[in-house]
Structure formats: C-alpha cells, structure tokens
Amino acid sequence: MRIVPYDDDDDDNKTSMSIVPYAPGPKQRDRAYLIVLAGANVGEMYPVEGTETFLGRGEKAKIKLTDDGISRLHARIFLDGDGVRIEDVGSANGTIVNGERVERSVALKDGDKIQVGGTTILKFTYHDKLEETFQRQMYDAALRDHLTKTFNKKHFLERLDSEFAYAKRHRVQLAVIMLDLDFFKHVNDTWGHLAGDHVLATLANLVHGTLRSEDMLARYGGEEFAVLCRGSSPDAARIVAERIRVTVEHANFAFDGIAIPVTISSGVAAYPDFLAAGPSELLGAADAMLYEAKRTGRNRVAVRR
C-alpha cells in the first residue's frame, strides 16, 4: 500500500491522508540489465536495449560471452508488453533460468539467475542511472588496473584459461602477445616516476587503439603488458605486434614539455601452431619470445614457430 496526501474540501481545506493500492516493480526510469556473476566476463554489465537482444559468442550477438559451451547465437531477450522475456534459440547446451531449462520462453523478474554454457551465470535486474554508475565502478575496480585502465593480471589469466579451453575443444587458433617497455628503469631514473606513469598510461591507450574489439589488453605487471588475440595465427599476431611496435616508436610521449623516447619489445606464441599443453605453457612461450626480442637488440618482435 502507498499513502498519499489529498485536499478535503469539506473540512476547511485541511490536508488529510488517503491509502491507495501500490504494485511494487521497476520504476519507469529504471533500465533492464544483465550482470555477469560467473564466467570469463564476470562483473560486466550489459543493458537490455531495443525490442530484442541476442547473446552468444558470434558476431551477430549484441551481448558477447566467451565461455566454453556458449553457442554463436545462444539466447534471445525481448520485450513483451511491459515485461522482458528470454528464449533459447537452439543452443547446443540450453538456457537455464533459476535452475529450470527454458523450453519456449520465460518471463524475467528482477533478480532472476540465467545460466548459459558451462560456467556463465547472469543476473537479470533493473537499475537507475546512479545504480548503473556504481555497478560499473565496482566492475572497473575489480578487473582493471587503476593507472592504465587496462584489465589486470588476474582477470587476464582467468580469460586466458577460458579462451584456451575453447580453442582446444573447437580446434581454433589463439595467440598471446607479451610486450615490454625497453629501458623503462631509465625513464623513471631520468624523468621521475610521474613521467613513468604517464608513459605507461599513454602506451596502454596507444596499444588499445590498434586492437580489434574481441582482443584483450591487460597490464601483466610493472611495464609488461599482455594481449590475447582470438582466432589469430602466428603470422596474424606478428602483424598485430609489429603494428603496435611501430605505433609506439613513432608516438609522442611528451611529459612536461619534454619528449621521452619510447620503444617496446614483443614476444608472440599461438596455439595450435605451438602445441601448448595448457594456457600457462602458451603464455610461457610468448614470454620466452619477449626475452628473445630483448636479447637480440630490443625494439623488435620475436615469434615462437
């Protein structure tokens, strides 16, 4: 029930109170969202926009989820009157809502849990703008590096595990690029740590601008970064690494009006051309190539063949 004021003309216009029915539910200003509770994209928040939204691994899916067991087009979320419904679109492993497999379509309520694939669990919810901002801040704090705004090492390793499992199961290619700033200690010692932070943040922004939307960039530690390239052969990943190297070499890393020369070295390894037994072995091969690039002169790319 909801209590609202009204004016009583028969009682000297005194304000009285009236009780009227009130149906709880999402406010008109709230928007529907899916929040990833478990899986490779944990913490990510996707708005449910338009009359229908598809989720899956493929290019036609507006909400892209990368876990193993998710079909290219897995499920459809659509408006139905004032509500939202979900239906499976012939996925290999089905769509499950609150523990029940979706046979046709199911109406979604605030707080419902949706499972797709082997490990991805989504929460359906309504948020206003303030709640959305808070959720995104929580997501960034948990998964991103504060300085460079790239993903952090923990999230990169989790994503590498799921991407490697998918690549191995479906016999598709997966490449890792490890890159490291050359002589970064000299930058800090000569121009100071604020200049060093500026170089790292600028580098991350430059690298991100050279990548595809499906590629993943992470700060692996210190001045070292990692790139995950889905569906990339050793030659394709080498081209990406070389493009990054040239972009960085010719970029302007000025700090307080002083130009700071910056170059990077990179190592590349790609599965299954390099038949790694697991994700750590693939990562180790790329890291070994990074040190080979540094050993042979820096400002270059080395590829594991």
3-state secondary structure of 275: coil
Burial 104-117 (b: 16+ CB within 10 A, else e): ebbebeeebebbbb
Q: Any idea which residue has 């999230």 for tokens? A: 155
- The neighbour count for residue 99, using CB atoms within 10 Å, is 7
Give yes or no for a contact between 112 and 136, defined as CB atoms under 8 angstroms apart. Answer: no
Is 223 a known active-site residue?
A: yes
Q: Which of 100, 103, 158, 223 is catalytic?
A: 223
Nearest to 220 by CA among 207, 230, 239: 207
| Cα dist from 67 to 138, 143, 160, 305, whole Å | 22, 17, 11, 28
In angstroms, the CA 148 to CA 201 distance is 5
Give yes or no for a contact between 227 and 214, defined as CB atoms under 8 angstroms apart. Answer: no
Task: Write out the catalytic residue numbers.
Answer: 223
